[in-house]
Amino acid sequence: MFFPGALAAVLLLAQSTPSLPTEDALALLNEVGQRYAAAKSYRIEAISERTSSNELSRNWQKTILTAIVAPGGKYRYEGRSGMGGAVLVSDAATEWNYHVNEHLYTERASLGEDSMKGRVITFEEAPLIEAKALMPKLTHRADALKSASFLPQQTISVGEKSLHCYVVHYTDDDFQKSAKYKEEATIWIDQETDRVVKVFTRRESEMMPAAIPLLIETTVIYSRVQLDEAEPAETFRFVPPSNAKLVDKFPGLPGAPAERSTDFVGKPAPELELKSADGKTVKLSSFRGQPVFLDFWATWCGPCVFLLKDLKELHAATEPKGLVWIGIDSDEESEASSAFILKEAIRWPNYHDPDGRLGKTFERNAIPLGVLIDAQGKVTFYQSAYEISDLKRAIVKLGPEFSFLTQPVTAAK
């Protein structure tokens, strides 16, 4: 049994002992999730703090999140972190996407809640994606669990309020199947409102490609949760700041003007020094004589994750034929990508790009970005927000050994 250190905004106070609503902790989690799922509108404000550490390192990051949704296709998502910040607003007719640090925004007809699916995600929008995930996480937290248990009830302070809470603890059953990847969580539920006010997760993982142990601890404080309460109409309208500029597309997106040329095709690939977590360095040029595919991605990038199933099939089919696969992730912390790689059984080596140096070498302004290099070291394919079909056609041109890709790809047995 463990109790995480409290954040400054959350102080553990005297323990209380009112009767439990149910003797089954998992049933309580499911009931709470169902109440969130039944909400037709909501406003959730949260602060997430994550610390990753091992024997020789310690990293911390904070993300401020807001998600507001009303019936009829109205929404407002805001996210801000060390990577930047963005706001996505829709009044059901028009959608605005504002990049806070760039002072740029787009305006277009609203496409509803699926507006960001299938398109390239810029780095400023990473916390925005996290804000969009607030409600789904609260709704579906207990879906895959088989058991949970009660810890002693507690009274905690959130802002200026003292909240009497049920405390539930669980270990993720799927995580327990892997000796290298374990997660447990503690959840504080306000007894008066049956709403989640705090979640602490503790994850044991490894940094890839080297198997370096890593402990990840995340605390999320839900400072404001409103379900089925009316929001003023101005919440869902965007008033651009005086220094904001309207653009057709953000720099780096397909079809948008870019400050730097991305015309790499037909030219020698620039050199990369790929450094693994254990300190070993591999140069991109060391693969000369073999074709190479570079996948620039991140765990928070929806389109990147959407491509994964097809990429794994394509890897299984082409790696035995000599195509070298290399992933380069843009997550803020390497443990996020390492944990994801283990969970999704991604079999090609991946390298973390903490300062963006690797991406900058290839003028990566957005992801997913796919780069294909032939055996002579020349770039033959360079495309953000690429389709698998486009990548397959480019691989076929590498040589006759890949001609089988003109047929449907089947993963190697």
Give me the tens of pLDDT residue by residue for the chain, a chain 413 residues long: 333 443 333 333 333 344 566 679 999 999 999 999 999 999 999 999 988 888 877 888 899 999 999 999 999 999 998 878 999 999 999 999 999 988 999 999 887 766 665 556 677 888 888 898 899 999 988 887 889 999 999 999 998 899 999 999 998 755 445 555 678 999 999 999 999 999 999 988 766 555 677 788 999 999 999 999 999 999 999 999 999 999 987 775 444 433 333 578 889 999 999 987 677 888 999 999 999 999 999 888 877 888 888 999 999 999 999 999 999 998 877 777 888 888 888 999 999 887 788 988 888 877 889 999 999 999 999 988 788 888 999 999 999 999 888 765 444 43
The CA distance from 154 to 165, in Å, is 5
- Residue pLDDT, tens place only, 58-80: 888 899 999 999 999 999 999 99
Interval 254-306: pLDDT, tens: 444 333 335 788 899 999 999 876 778 889 999 999 999 999 998 888 778 88
pLDDT in tens, 68-113: 999 999 999 999 988 789 999 999 999 999 999 889 999 998 877 6
First-to-last alpha carbon distance for the chain, in angstroms, is: 43
**pTM of the shown model:** 0.66
β-strand 324-329 against 292-297: which pairing, if any? Answer: parallel
Q: Which CATH number fits domain 273-406: 3.40.50.620, 3.40.50.740, 3.40.30.10, 3.10.20.740?
A: 3.40.30.10
What are the domain boundaries of the chain? Answer: 25-246, 273-406
Could you tell me which residues are beta bridge partners of residue 293? 325, 372
Which whole-number Å values give the CA distances from 112 to 41, 69, 115, 386, in the listed order? 15, 11, 6, 23
Distance between CA atoms of 61 and 149, rounded to whole angstroms?
29
d(CA 407, CA 332) in angstroms, rounded, equals 38
Cβ neighbours of 340 (radius 10 Å): 21
Sorted by sequence, the CB contacts under 8 Å of residue 179 that are 6+ apart come out as none
d(CA 354, CA 357): 8
Give residue for tokens 């990369």. 272
Burial 265-278 (b: 16+ CB within 10 A, else e): eeeebeebebbbbe
In this structure, CATH architecture of domain 25-246 = Clam (2.50)
d(CA 8, CA 204): 24
CA distance 388 to 407: 13
Check for a shared fold between 25-246 and 273-406.
no
